[in-house]
Amino acid sequence: MQPVIEMRKMTKAYRGVPAVKDVDFTLMKGEVHALLGENGAGKSTLTKIMAGVVEATSGEMLHNGQKVAFANPHEALQNGIAMVFQETSLVPSMTVAQNIYLGEEKFLNRLRGIYIAAQQFLQSLNFSVDPTASVATLGAAKRQMVEIARAVHHRADVIIFDEPTATLTPEEKRHFFALMRRLKASGVSIVFITHALEEALSHADRISILRDGELIETGPAAEFDRNKVVRAMVGRALTGEIYNRRREAADLRKRGRQILSVRDVSMGSMVRNNSFSIFEGQITGIFGLVGSGRTETFKIVSGIYKRDFLRGGEIEFDGRPVRYNVPVGAVRDGIVYVTEDRKLEGFFETMSIAENFYSGPLAADLTRSSVVSFAEMREIAADWSKRLDVKAITDNARVVELSGGNQQKVVIGKGLAQRPKLVIFDEPTRGVDVGAIAEIHRFINQLADEGLAVVVISSYLPEVMNLSDRILVCRQGRVVEEISPVEATEEKIMFAAVH
């Protein structure tokens, strides 16, 4: 059978450094092909070549047996190849319906007609998104849905999904996989990039694994298990190290001084009378479902959001009451918030790694002089790049050119360069591969060992259970239960989060 896509000896180099090297790849009709690998392994680059986003340095690509080289994504789309990007490519100022029909506008357009058609189309996909809503008002998950809907709408025969489920809730994921099965049944071929290995193992027909830009292994999904995938991805077994650590009472760090006391903090209907304490020398894990107010609470603590003006509660940091109107006060007091949305809030994407690192001490007023010192910047960047093992093609690479895991390390380094007393990690390993997860976990543990107060907000239960010295469970805008990791089970934590 002739493959829909065939790539031969595909190579793409940036400034002479290959991101993808001599990769052979085939995609059959009606196949779900999972592409796995660590951040920086070359998955996104390979699929971007497929979708005409970047041009290959060498190698050839055949589409239905015909040699092709797409100059841009529009050309690829016209040939039936669509890509759903990890970072959505929607126009924020336009409505959902307008985004779906973008590029198909007639000479005269009737908005009502577009909305009705979009409504029916979204319903057929089981996506509960209001077609009249402006994209700027949508959360990450709903934007992802619109992006997927747009690809499906273009009736592509090849759809590339880059981390489609990272921002979806469990319910939305079920709908997504049902949609993927429907697309597959109608003959659509799917390339599916994911960091959730279970998703690849249970939904893909074939799996290909890339490491350092090279194809390491490819074969039917049935021939893989989690350990085999991880070994191929990182060259060693890691899953046990990350998630299967048995916690004993003796393993838990002792509570240090109380550094943060949050008392009856409220913010609209998102945070309601939330009270808890954070102690030095410990990792406090925060678990809660989407909408439980976890992120919002810690954004209030770090001055990003403001608590209610009337009876908004009290926050005491390091023994004194605080009410930050802007984050700079919190930063100067020693609170660092490592955001869950690194692309939007975490870094300056067109600035270099060094400039990003240096922006931390600049914000915290910790620089040696009142003017920018390039020597100091280079010193700080070299120090943190080494400590966090940031892998970049060149030292002055822009952050946008880095892989997800390395971008996350830059965000973490930028925060830690501020010499904080309290570090809040919000979803620190979202969209990060297993190798980088292990490194980030080791680093978080090291911070707590050094005596810092560390908060880890995560939606991934094994992460919360393996990292935390105490677990706080949020529901409906407040902490409802504190559970020791020794007695914690996934069922117990989930029960507290739901009931």
Partner 1 sequence: MSLLDPVLDLFRGKAVTIPPMDGALRPNTALDDGEVVTAALAPDNLAMLNGAPIYSSHREIRRIGHDHAVLETCPADVSAIAVGDDGTLAIGLDDGSLKLGGSMIEGFNCITALALHGGKLYVTNGSDHFRPSQWVSDLMHRNSAGSLWEVDVTSGQRRKLAGGLAFANGIAVDAANQRLIVSESWRHRLSSVPTSGGGVTEVLGRLPAYPARIVARPGGFVLALFAPLNRLVEFVLQEPQYRADMMREIDSRYWIAPTLSPPDSFLEPLQNGGVRSMGVHKPWSPTRSYGLVATLDARLQPVASYHSRANGRFHGVTSAMAVDGAILAAAKGGNHIIRVQAGEGTS
Catalog residues that contact partner 1 under the rule CB under 8 A. Answer: 255, 258, 261-264, 273, 275-277, 279, 309-314, 320-323, 325, 470, 472, 479, 482, 495, 499
CA distance linking residue 102 with residue 152, whole number of Å: 13
Which helix (DSSP H) or strand (DSSP E) does residue 156 occupy? none
Cβ-based nearer residue to partner 1, 214 or 314? 314
As measured in angstroms, the least distance from the Cβ of 337 to partner 1 is 19
To the nearest whole angstrom, how small is the minimum distance from the Cβ of residue 310 to partner 1? Answer: 5
Question: DSSP per residue over 196-213, as a string?
Answer: -HHHHHHH-SEEEEEETT
Q: How far is the CB of 447 from partner 1 (least distance, A)?
A: 19
Q: Whose Cβ is closer to partner 1: residue 264's or residue 439's?
A: 264
Cβ 464 vs Cβ 493: under 8 Å: yes
Choose between 59 and 334: whose C-beta lies nearer to partner 1.
334
Closest to partner 1 by CB, 71 or 310: 310
Please, which residue, 217 or 318, has the CB nearer to partner 1? Answer: 318
Asked whether 169 and 370 are in contact (CB, 8 A), the reply is: no
* Cβ atoms of 35 and 190 closer than 8 Å: no
Q: Which is nearer to partner 1, 323 or 368 (CB)?
A: 323
Q: Least Å distance between CB 33 and partner 1?
A: 42
Residue 239: which of 227, 224, 225 has the closest Cα?
Answer: 227
The rounded radius of gyration (Å) of the Cα atoms in the chain is 23
243: CB partners within 8 A, 6+ apart? 462, 463, 466
Closer Cβ to partner 1, 106 or 254, answer by number: 254
From the CB of residue 180, how many other CB atoms can be counted at a distance below 10 Å? 21
* CB of 264 vs partner 1, minimal distance in Å: 4
* Shortest Cβ 278–partner 1 spacing (Å): 9
Q: How far is the CB of 474 from partner 1 (least distance, A)?
A: 13
Residues 13-30: b if buried by 16+ CB within 10 A, e if exposed: beeeebbbbebebbbbbe
- Do the Cβ atoms of 231 and 426 come closer than 8 Å? no
User: Nearer to partner 1 by C-beta: 15 or 254?
Assistant: 254
Non-local CB neighbours of 143 within 8 Å, separated by 6+ positions: 88, 90, 135, 167
Provide the minimum distance between the beta carbon of 362 and partner 1 in the complex, in angstroms, as a whole number. 23
